[in-house]
Structure 1
Amino acid sequence: MKPPPGLFSSPTSDVCKLKRSLYGLKQAPRAWCDKFRSTLLQLSFEQSCVLLLVYVDDIIITGTDSSLITSLQQQLKDSFHMKDLGTLTYFLGLEVHYNSLGVFLNQCKYTQDLIALAGLQESPSVDTPLELNVKYRRDERDLIPDPTLFRQLVGSLNYLTITRPDIFFAVQQVSKFMQNPCHLHVVDVRRIIRYLSGTSTRGLFFPSGSPIQLKAFSDSDWAGCSDTHCSVMGWCMSLGDSLISWKSKKQDCVSKSSTEAEYRAMYTACSEIIWLRGLFAEIEFPQSSPTSFYADNTSVIQIATNPVYHERTKHIEVDCHFIREAVDRRVIPLPHVSSDLQIADMFTKSMARQCHRFLLGKLMLVDPPTSI
């Protein structure tokens, strides 16, 4: 920031006090949220059947009472300069389609723009985002001289994971090399984009008749990171048949066994389950029954349901064992699922084509329904 011309006649160390927020400052989002929150409180806005999703100055309003939504829109217009764009069809690159069967979300235009940015419009597509059993390292040779485009592509891919959980693990892997990418890492990013070029219309489908019952899947590899030997964990949450939350992340510490790695993954996923259950209670959709939490490691299930601390688990941080409390309080049961049906596998490793396609269907990640 520079002072307006003519304010100071000569160079000085004086500063100006800014009495209002300017667009682009790091303080601007906080100032806007504070103003918007205070306005809603002045309007006596409370938890009800109307929900607002606020992203900076873009707002989605939804609910079951159309008259209340109309009243709220008018009150907000009295306080802010706002434009009503009608029924939601496009929001920050997210395309929304409706039909009698449910709602379909994708980012087709955003994907096409990303493919054009990479210059891969004419390149052949591939069936999977990663090669099978590929290992990534930081100390690869041939650093690229200018990583700007690489960083732009990885950042864009990260935003695309909003509706494309099938590339989440691949994006998590290449994101580790943002500082010093090599030519091999560029090849990996280009493969992800070539995969997208053949599936650019794919997105998430939310069936209208899906039951409102939360269920979760959790998994982890063991020492999957070649540089740190930390494990990569993954989990996903579904509301009925609709995928609503997912994650792929390298763990913060090295696990001594695959059981410990999966136990840590379950601990992180259990935190998300408890948060989601609280969120559903706030929006008046409480979970009346425990959340089924599926794991494919029987040793992990036994540790989580066994109140005795034995030698093989005494080195694990105490806070990880709060999953036992969740089991005792009947927040979650821990049914076993076979590794072939473990949906969270997609967030921890690269896969062969047939297995990849099978799990896509389980995630309700599909091409647009024909009636849309």
Structure 2
Amino acid sequence: MGNKQVEGEDYGETFSPVARMGTVRLFLETAVKYGWKVHQMDVQNAFLHGDLEEEVYMRLPPGYQLPDKNKVCRLRKSLYGLKQAPRCWFAKLTTALKDYGFVQSLADYSLFTYEQGAVRIHILIYVDDLIIAGSNEDATAKFKDYLASCFKMKDLGELKYFLGIEIARNESGMYLCQRKYALDIIAETGLLGCKPVNFPLDQNHSLQFSKSRILSDPTPYRRLLGRLIYLGVTRLDLAYSVHLLAQFMKEPKEDHWHAAIRVVNYLKSDPGQGILLRSDNDFQVTGWCDSDWSRCRMSRRSVTGYFIQLGNSPVSWKTKKQKTVSRSSAEAEYRAMADLVQKLIWLKRMLHTLGVFHVQPMNVYYDSKSAIHIASNPVFHERTKHIENDCHFVRDEVVSRNILLQHVNTKTQLANIFTKPLGTESFEDFRSKLGILNLYGPA
């Protein structure tokens, strides 16, 4: 049925907003620091609840007959298979939440907040999976009863498993990992009996200039990289390796496949590795950023890497290639700083939505004195005119005391691991400082 729909006639917008993974980690970290319980609910047959705005007709289902065989059925409710079904469901749920008194976040439309006196409840939505946290258990239970009266719900109790993420909690905090998902990847590639390696990517690789044979069937490579990308939700140590290998999805070669297999060999060494969202820290936001100038030897674009902590808990990280070629290392470093500052501003808005008022400056640690000087100096130099917008953007945040720039030695720059391949000693040293743990490892 859905494949016969015509855009603009039978449906308009089709997407349903889903929570960003950064929002999920920030949501859970806030709940841990406040000591709130986190509940999980699942909506049964979610798409059947949506109300259709368009005129959509369908043939009568098999076994149902009318005297007039030329008649068709007009749909009032959405069905699975309709392109607009996810959107209709989200609109229906949004209406029910707003009727209860919830306010939708402008920083992430999948987050809703209810505030009444000392009672505060947050709900995060990922299609038909809901996680709920609140300051008052009685108020949270009352709200869950309200949801059950509006939709057919399944109460899954306290959060244990969400979107493939395994969650364990004690007085120290909340541990997130994807052990089962990682073991499934290892098993699917047939490497359960392989010898593990200590770091995921060879430092002296030449993957961008590989002359090996093109894979006859690129599907296994693309499937493996797609799974590794999702594994990066809790495995920040894979960020750079997956970023590099994902650039060859269009036409992967044998060397690229072998490099991807090496990443799986690395997973074999610690499949249960994950991150700990600590309960004993404050809400101080700290950002680390770095750039590797002209890292891509084909396009000569630089690579940006950043890492953000809330207290000592990792909440956001990223590796990405810059959109333009930088003519100096200072320019590349400054563009990386602008990307981090933009992310920090968004994170601060999210914290405000979650009831955290972060009035102190956010610390930004950088190993480039030239980038810090450009941000602090109100006079533009000749070499910075072409990055004037980024200069103004970052400098305004520095002047307003929203961020505080601090120099850090390259050897202690945590974002280093997101911009380049590292050897065993450097890789393990940085990994130990990122808040990565293995709950399943020996004590």
Tell me if TM exceeds 0.5.
Answer: yes
* Partner of residue 350 from structure 2, selected from 279, 282, 290: 279
Question: 2:303 aligned with 1:224, yes or no?
Answer: no
Residue correspondence of structure 1 range 157-168 to structure 2 within 5 A: 157-168=228-239
Number of the residue aligned with 2:92: 35
* Partner of residue 247 from structure 2, selected from 176, 179, 193: 176
Deviation at 1:141, TM superposition (A): 3.4
Partner SS for 1:167: helix
Asked if 1 retains the 8 angstrom alpha-carbon contact of 2:351 and 2:357, the reply is: yes
Number of the residue aligned with 2:328: 257
Number of the residue aligned with 1:11: none
Task: List runs of 5+ in structure 2 lacking aligned partners.
Answer: 5-57, 63-71, 104-112
* Partner of residue 50 from structure 1, selected from 121, 133, 142: 121
Asked if 1 retains the 8 angstrom alpha-carbon contact of 2:334 and 2:390, the reply is: no
Deviation at 1:288, TM superposition (A): 1.9
For residues 334 and 60 of structure 1, what CA distance do their matches in structure 2 show?
35
* Partner of residue 167 from structure 2, selected from 96, 99, 114: 96
Deviation at 1:131, TM superposition (A): 0.7
CA offsets 1:269-321 (integer angstroms, 9 cap, x no match)? 10011111111112111112100100000000000111111101011252453
Deviation at 1:227, TM superposition (A): 2.0
For residues 81 and 425 of structure 2, what CA distance do their matches in structure 1 show?
46
For residues 222 and 83 of structure 2, what CA distance do their matches in structure 1 show?
21
Distance 1:172 1:65, change over 3 A: same
For residues 145 and 217 of structure 2, what CA distance do their matches in structure 1 show?
50
* Partner of residue 78 from structure 2, selected from 12, 21, 45: 21
Asked if 2 retains the 8 angstrom alpha-carbon contact of 1:205 and 1:242, the reply is: yes
For residues 410 and 441 of structure 2, what CA distance do their matches in structure 1 show?
32
Distance 1:61 1:258, change over 3 A: same
Of 24-33 and 79-88, deviating more is: 24-33
Partner SS for 2:123: strand
Aligned-residue CA RMSD in angstroms?
A: 2.1
Number of the residue aligned with 1:12: none
Residue correspondence of structure 1 range 348-359 to structure 2 within 5 A: 348-359=419-430
For residues 164 and 242 of structure 1, what CA distance do their matches in structure 2 show?
14
Question: 2:389 aligned with 1:318, yes or no?
Answer: yes
* Partner of residue 276 from structure 2, selected from 202, 205, 227: 205
CA offsets 1:6-41 (integer angstroms, 9 cap, x no match)? 99xxxxxxx997654333554333222211111101
CA offsets 1:124-146 (integer angstroms, 9 cap, x no match)? 11000111132431664311011
Number of the residue aligned with 2:339: 268
Deviation at 1:98, TM superposition (A): 1.2
Asked if 2 retains the 8 angstrom alpha-carbon contact of 1:267 and 1:321, the reply is: no
Deviation at 1:212, TM superposition (A): 1.2
Partner SS for 2:422: coil
For residues 206 and 166 of structure 2, what CA distance do their matches in structure 1 show?
34
CA offsets 1:162-212 (integer angstroms, 9 cap, x no match)? 000000110000001111100011011101111001110110012210111
For residues 424 and 127 of structure 2, what CA distance do their matches in structure 1 show?
40
CA offsets 1:37-84 (integer angstroms, 9 cap, x no match)? 111011122433211111000111112211111011110111111100
Number of the residue aligned with 2:155: 84
CA offsets 1:232-290 (integer angstroms, 9 cap, x no match)? 10001000110000010011110011111110010011001111111111211111210
- Counterpart of 2:404, as a letter, is P
Asked if 1 retains the 8 angstrom alpha-carbon contact of 2:59 and 2:73, the reply is: no
Distance 1:25 1:319, change over 3 A: farther
* Partner of residue 208 from structure 2, selected from 130, 133, 137: 137
Partner SS for 2:259: helix
For residues 210 and 225 of structure 2, what CA distance do their matches in structure 1 show?
19
For residues 55 and 6 of structure 1, what CA distance do their matches in structure 2 show?
31
- Counterpart of 1:32, as a letter, is W
Number of the residue aligned with 2:379: 308
Question: 2:417 aligned with 1:346, yes or no?
Answer: yes
Please give the TM-score of this superposition, normalised by the length of structure 1.
0.93
For residues 158 and 283 of structure 1, what CA distance do their matches in structure 2 show?
27
Asked if 2 retains the 8 angstrom alpha-carbon contact of 1:166 and 1:360, the reply is: yes
CA offsets 1:90-114 (integer angstroms, 9 cap, x no match)? 1111000112211111000010001
For residues 374 and 278 of structure 2, what CA distance do their matches in structure 1 show?
36
Deviation at 1:230, TM superposition (A): 0.7
Distance 1:169 1:17, change over 3 A: farther
For residues 370 and 318 of structure 1, what CA distance do their matches in structure 2 show?
47
- Counterpart of 1:131, as a letter, is D
Task: List runs of 5+ in structure 1 lacking aligned partners.
Answer: 8-14
* Partner of residue 359 from structure 2, selected from 251, 273, 288: 288
Number of the residue aligned with 1:113: 184
For residues 113 and 68 of structure 1, what CA distance do their matches in structure 2 show?
39
* Partner of residue 68 from structure 1, selected from 139, 144, 150: 139
Task: Give % identity.
Answer: 40
Partner SS for 1:113: helix
Asked if 1 retains the 8 angstrom alpha-carbon contact of 2:375 and 2:391, the reply is: no
Partner SS for 1:62: strand
For residues 87 and 252 of structure 2, what CA distance do their matches in structure 1 show?
34
For residues 130 and 397 of structure 2, what CA distance do their matches in structure 1 show?
35
Structure (1/2) with the larger strand percentage:
2
- Counterpart of 2:360, as a letter, is S
Please give the TM-score of this superposition, normalised by the length of structure 2.
0.79
Deviation at 1:333, TM superposition (A): 1.0
For residues 227 and 143 of structure 1, what CA distance do their matches in structure 2 show?
18
For residues 73 and 421 of structure 2, what CA distance do their matches in structure 1 show?
54
